[in-house]
Structure 1
Amino acid sequence: MPRLKLDVRAERLRLAFPFRISGYVFESAQVIVATLHDGDRTGRGEAAGVYYTGDDAPFMVETIETHRDAIEAGIDRAALQTLMPAGGARNAVDCALWELEAAQSGRPAWRLAGIPERRPLVTTFTLGADAPATMAEGARAYASAQAIKVKLTGELDLDLARVRAIRAARPDVWLGVDANQGFTRDTLEPLVTGLVDSKVALLEQPLARGREADLEGFDSPIPIAADESVLTLHDVDRLVGRFQVVNIKLDKCGGLTEGLAMAARARELGLGVMVGNMIGTSLAMAPAFLLGQQCDVVDLDGPTFLQRDREPSVRYQDGTIWCDEAVWGAGAKLTA
């Protein structure tokens, strides 16, 4: 690899409205953008980090700066996997390397990833936790959505009322819920019973990270997806017998390179595969869109929560997401 020039900056993204999940209310999101130049071409990557592990923007920037010399010496994606730990910092650099390689090779990132063709993907659209009637109105406002994901707070009766209200408002959609670690083994069974009544198709992360063993022997009629319980490829094998679906997020695992490896390993183990996102712009959704080509469930609605997205941007139409190469993944030749 030729020597590279690295630029890294932090940006604050304003949300269009407050977004509530179990234990958190978000009004903005801070991301970083890493850009790599080889003198002629450039590649970019955006990361939001992982809020529940302390992987915030200052930490991500510091992590990248710690490894600046090695990165600028001309690193490739394979070497990056051992140089930097998983997390948002590596995600930003890894995705920048993917786009840089695309520009250098003249082949788009999706071809480099071995994807034979791209297709629009049905994506979930997420409802933050609120009063049941408010969430039902939000579900109706997602008029073109084919799939809706509901954020819960761990308040059993209220959460089930929320789900019932949404199902009544939108009897036609695929419906999933994200518990964000809000429940315990004691409250899991009544939660699942109520979700079955509302024809919920997926339950994401009901128990706290570290309590995965509590799911052993629990025969759920609804597939349970691991989110906070699975960060990297190292975590995937121990999900068997506890979860049925793996939610891969590039900010957790440290980039598209490991995300693709996680999807392949999950398939080998008979697990379903989901791609999710921390809130971000289209620049963050674009590499996840490539991973989504290999997934059963796609949750890539992050830019819809922002006051302003980047241009060019991903396109949402009829409940699907489409990402053109102009957004990310083709790279660019620098001009004087």
Structure 2
Amino acid sequence: MDFDFTEDQQSLRDAVARWVDKGYSFERRRAIVNAGGFDRTAYGELAELGLTALTVPEDDGGMGLGAVDAMIVMEELGRGIVLEPLTQTLVVSNVLRQFAPEAVRQQWLPRMASGEALVVLAQQEVPSRYRPDLCEATAAKADNAYTVNATKNVVPAGDKADAWLVSARLDGVVALFLVERNAQGASSNGYLTQDGSRAADVFLQHTPATLVTTEGIAALELAMDTGIAASSAYAVGAMEKTLAVTAEYMNQRKQFGVAIATFQALRHRIADMKMQLELARSMSYFASLKLGEEPGARRRALSQAKVQLGQSMRFVGQQAVQLHGGIGVTDEYIVSHYFKTLTQLEMSFGDTLYHLGQVSDRMKETAGVFG
């Protein structure tokens, strides 16, 4: 199998890397965190690079590129632990592209592609954990219009988004609705998350909504899988930068008159970090390549990827902190922010244990001893 990237893909990587290096410094990121964890100007700069239009079909005003291109972009954003939720744009645009009626696509996809509108997924509820089929939110229809009652938790940039893609039960089945943030009966409570990004709890009381699809479970599974693929690539970039910073620190930090990078035991730990990074990278590739498979195979593959990514993120983050010592957990030093990002990513779109269970459930017919 050919894992070489095309010239266009390499040019895309270089363009995003230049923006991260020159336009999204650690100091700028700290300022964004101090200002609330989301910067519309920075999100607009992503749009100017064409990243918000990346996977939107050309007929809907996008670039019409694929999952591998998105993976390349997310890796580079991960190296800079960029806070703005491009993952959510990839998730929602993919769901709308495959499930939304033409009128909804025409209304929202061009605006999302241009960066004019930010739409995020509002699916998570406290009782549901990571299961898309557990949904307490309800929707009702009256006079060809819909309203939604819901409380959704930890919605990325929820109080800054222009609209939410909300799951709710309609006539006994889980459906998806688009709800505008300024709609009557809608409110939100924003806050910083552990990694410095922004999230919100969203409250809807008889709020007008637009029906996207009544195939809510299938659409939410696609949303989760798209999110896993994007966040996996982002995590690879974050781990790569974490490893590089740790190796640089070990070459500078001295004990007994020599750099600690010369200590064999510590070199072995760096080698273990590198091994976990490469395992994660290969599974990130696997995840992106499997996004186009039929739902059953796609779900299993993405859960397999998330299990490995979760293990790698935890290992690389913890080893980086251990090898740095006390400075590794100080807010002033960059490694602590990568550690917090990797820790939070491990729980995004289902944590490692949840996906280990999903892999187990999907291999019952093939696991075990064969006669």
Q: Which category describes the TM-score, using the shorter chain as reference length? A: under 0.3
| Structure of greater Rg | 2
Q: TM-score, normalised to structure 1's length? A: 0.28
Q: Whose strand proportion is higher, 1 or 2?
A: 1
Q: Bigger relative contact order, structure 1 or 2, given CA contacts below 8 A and separation 6+?
A: 1
Q: Whose helix proportion is higher, 1 or 2?
A: 2
